[in-house]
Amino acid sequence: MPTLLFTHPDCLDHDTGDHHPECPDRLRAINRILDHGDFVYLLRAEAPEATVEQLLRVHSRAHVERIFSALPQDETIVELDSDTFVSRGSGRAALRAAGAVCAAVDEVATRQCRNAFCAVRPPGHHAEREAAMGFCLFSNAAIGAFHARDVYGYQRVAVVDFDVHHGNGTQSLLLDQPGMFYASTHQADAFPYTGLPEETGRPGGGVVVNVPLASGSGSDLFRAAYDNEILPRLVAFAPDFLIVSAGFDAHAADPVAHLRLHVNDFEWLSRRLVAVAGEYAGNRLVSVLEGGYDTRALAACVAAHLRVLMGG
């Protein structure tokens, strides 16, 4: 079975203003590299808009209404907080981003494809039930996890997040949910300053595994975090569906943080996650783009990630 890519031109219309790192050029760089012959057999589909029902599995109606009421009707940029900006096209982009993950879950769950990658923006893992933050409007990975559980009945849904920033939103939404798993590596002293090792979930709720890495950490510490802590816990959880929050801003070239990873580190982890999905989840894996703000490094990392998915 093939790998399926979900994206949509609407995701380019989320305008965050001049010099903002979370910009449309991120997707343009990914689109350019996917013209390479390696991806001729990559299936491609347009992301649908998420439904209100899908959003309300994790967000309140008040939060959804606040996002859409904040959108400008002209070409201005509106500041939701010091990091998070929206434009007239941001609502459609955010609906496409969340909708892509749900559609990817549909396709993987019904065996239309082996796995899927969602090349979308805005990212999602900082968005909490009642708050947009950290460039994120809706919690895309969590929306996908709830969709997998509530629509298809998967009982052990895991989210693994290798973005350089801790996915506080995803964690908060899965924390109290039995049958959910959230694991993250992230820079210890970076926004949003959450994801401490002692944040491990609650009795009767989800499993949480956090491995913060010191600024300047490179391949050895990153790989050890997965080999020694996260992957053993993931295997013990035995997920029947795996969602990946694929942020590539831990790359050494990225301007927003200070981990020192390289393309081969993301390829290595992608292979490990594909193997877990193959062993426990019938290959059911959906990956969604989070961060990554050096466009050349981002495109190279996404290409490596997709090559693994296509070969998995």
Tell me the average pLDDT across 36-50: 96
What gap in Å lies between CA 165 and CA 46, rounded to an integer? Answer: 28
Termini Cα distance of the chain: 10
Q: Backbone phi, then psi, for 240, in 5-degree steps?
A: -100, 0
What gap in Å lies between CA 280 and CA 311, rounded to an integer? Answer: 18
Could you tell me the pTM of the whole model?
0.98
Each residue's pLDDT tens digit, 198-234: 999 888 999 999 999 999 999 999 999 999 999 999 9
**Residue 312 clears pLDDT 80, i.e. is over it:** no
125 annotated active-site: no
What gap in Å lies between CA 134 and CA 128, rounded to an integer? Answer: 10
- Domain 3-311 CATH (choose: 2.40.50.140, 3.40.800.20, 3.40.367.20, 3.40.50.10490): 3.40.800.20
What local confidence, expressed as pLDDT, does residue 202 receive?
A: 83
Which of 59, 63, 126, 166 is labelled catalytic?
Answer: 126
What gap in Å lies between CA 182 and CA 193, rounded to an integer? Answer: 17
The residue ranges of every structural domain in the chain are 3-311
Q: What is the CA radius of gyration of the chain?
A: 17
Each residue's pLDDT tens digit, 146-159: 999 999 999 999 99
**How many Cβ atoms are within 10 Å of 109's Cβ, its own excluded?**
18
Q: What percent of the chain has pLDDT over 70?
A: 100
What local confidence, expressed as pLDDT, does residue 201 receive?
A: 86
Q: Which 3 state secondary structure label does DSSP give 49? A: coil
What local confidence, expressed as pLDDT, does residue 203 receive?
A: 87
